[in-house]
Amino acid sequence: MHRCVSFAVASVLASTLLVAGASTAQGAAFPVDPGPRVDGRPITGSGQNLPPIADETYNVGPYMAPQVEAYYTGKAIQQDRADVALAAWRWVRDWVRANCGSTPEAVRACRATVVFDVDETLLNSYSYSLAQDPQFTFNPTTWNEYVAACDYSGISQTRDLYNRLIKLGVYVALVSAGSKDNKPFMVKCLNEHGIAAWDRYIMRGEKGENLSDGEWKATQRKELERKGHRIVASVGDQVSDMSFGHLMHGFLLPNTMYYLH
Ligand SMILES: [Mg+2]
């Protein structure tokens, strides 16, 4: 299970839907500052994320459904994803050119690594949240059915980023708080959406059950570093995909459906 059963918060969100930076609508990805847990690492995003209203995972719930639907079915989210993916590409390309060299072999040899989250980063589960009753809530049973059926849609912007990075020679690690029990389904589904050839795919099991998603993901990146990986970027849709260090730069894709602590 990758997120808790809904925690009703929609009324709190009506006036504060988006994380820092949203008040200045911009056409491109820009620096966002979600606060101290990012441990001083720069984060580039679109501003289209839910705020941390408590130390809790939550789903936006049905009251914001019209706004969330308008964003997910409109052009803005496509542009936001493209802007963040482009910013990530430029950052990683420039870093490896400056620090590793220009051939895939050289990039590989210097162990440049990019960490990707999966849900709402490489695969889009909007159709899941939309179909729940009430809308934009979470239920572990319907979630597991959704995953097993691979009802996700793809996210072309990050799929293209992912494949360009592999061609560049970087190591790619998928780090997902999704349950290990679903891994066979997820592998098949990612492959069906043009995502393959990763070096590592780490999912959450029973170990570290007391950690938040953000803490658990940081321990996984730390472990990658211990094995010699240099984590040039972490690409995700949650601040918890890029909190507590062990990365150089975070790239935050939009998600106005749920917040993972
Ligand atoms: Mg995610």
DSSP state at residue 36: G
**How far, in Å, is the centroid of ligand 1 from the Cα of 21?**
20
pLDDT digits (tens, 9 = 90+) for 166-217: 999 999 999 999 999 999 999 999 999 999 999 999 999 877 789 999 999 9
**How far, in Å, is the centroid of ligand 1 from the Cα of 176?**
7
DSSP state at residue 149: T
Total Cβ atoms within 10 A of residue 134: 13
**How far, in Å, is the centroid of ligand 1 from the Cα of 58?**
13
pLDDT value, residue 133 = 97
**How far, in Å, is the centroid of ligand 1 from the Cα of 190?**
14
**How far, in Å, is the centroid of ligand 1 from the Cα of 254?**
10
**How far, in Å, is the centroid of ligand 1 from the Cα of 102?**
31
Residue type, 53: I
pLDDT value, residue 42 = 96
**How far, in Å, is the centroid of ligand 1 from the Cα of 103?**
31
**How far, in Å, is the centroid of ligand 1 from the Cα of 110?**
28
pLDDT at 164 over 60: yes
Is the distance from CB of 261 to CB of 57 less than 8 angstroms? Answer: yes
**How far, in Å, is the centroid of ligand 1 from the Cα of 123?**
9
Please report where in the chains the tokens 């990012």 appear, as a residue: 38
**How far, in Å, is the centroid of ligand 1 from the Cα of 101?**
31
Measured between alpha carbons, how far is 131 from 151 in angstroms, rounded to an integer? 11
pLDDT digits (tens, 9 = 90+) for 1-40: 346 544 434 433 433 344 444 434 455 899 998 888 888 8
**How far, in Å, is the centroid of ligand 1 from the Cα of 105?**
30
- Exposed / middle / buried, residue 204 (Cβ in 10 Å: 0-12, 13-18, 19+): buried
**How far, in Å, is the centroid of ligand 1 from the Cα of 118?**
5
pLDDT value, residue 3 = 60
pLDDT value, residue 27 = 57
pLDDT value, residue 53 = 87
DSSP string, 167-228: HHT-EEEEEEEEEGGGHHHHHHHHHHTT----SEEEEE-STTTTS-HHHHHHHHHHHHHHTT
Question: Average pLDDT for residues 83-97, to the nearest whole number?
Answer: 98
The dotted CATH code for 10-17+34-259 is 3.40.50.1000
**How far, in Å, is the centroid of ligand 1 from the Cα of 63?**
22
Phi and psi dihedrals of 205, rounded to 5?
Answer: -115, -150
Mean residue pLDDT of the chain comes to 91
pLDDT band at 118 (very low <50, low <70, confident <90, very high): very high
Measured between alpha carbons, how far is 204 from 183 in angstroms, rounded to an integer? 10
pLDDT digits (tens, 9 = 90+) for 222-243: 999 999 999 999 999 999 999 9
Is the distance from CB of 34 to CB of 52 less than 8 angstroms? Answer: yes
**How far, in Å, is the centroid of ligand 1 from the Cα of 153?**
14
For residue 134, whether the previous peptide bond is cis, meaning omega lies within 30 degrees of 0, is: yes
- Exposed / middle / buried, residue 24 (Cβ in 10 Å: 0-12, 13-18, 19+): exposed
Question: Average pLDDT for residues 55-77, to the nearest whole number?
Answer: 96
pLDDT band at 95 (very low <50, low <70, confident <90, very high): very high
Higher per-residue confidence, 15 vs 257: 257
Is the distance from CB of 136 to CB of 192 less than 8 angstroms? Answer: no
Question: Average pLDDT for residues 44-60, to the nearest whole number?
Answer: 93
**How far, in Å, is the centroid of ligand 1 from the Cα of 175?**
10
pLDDT value, residue 36 = 85
Question: Average pLDDT for residues 141-157, to the nearest whole number?
Answer: 98
Residue ranges per structural domain of the chain: 10-17+34-259
Give percent above pLDDT 90 in the chain. 83
Is the Cα torsion angle 150, 152, 155, 158 positive or negative in sign? negative
DSSP state at residue 246: S
pLDDT value, residue 206 = 74
Which pTM value belongs to this model? Answer: 0.91
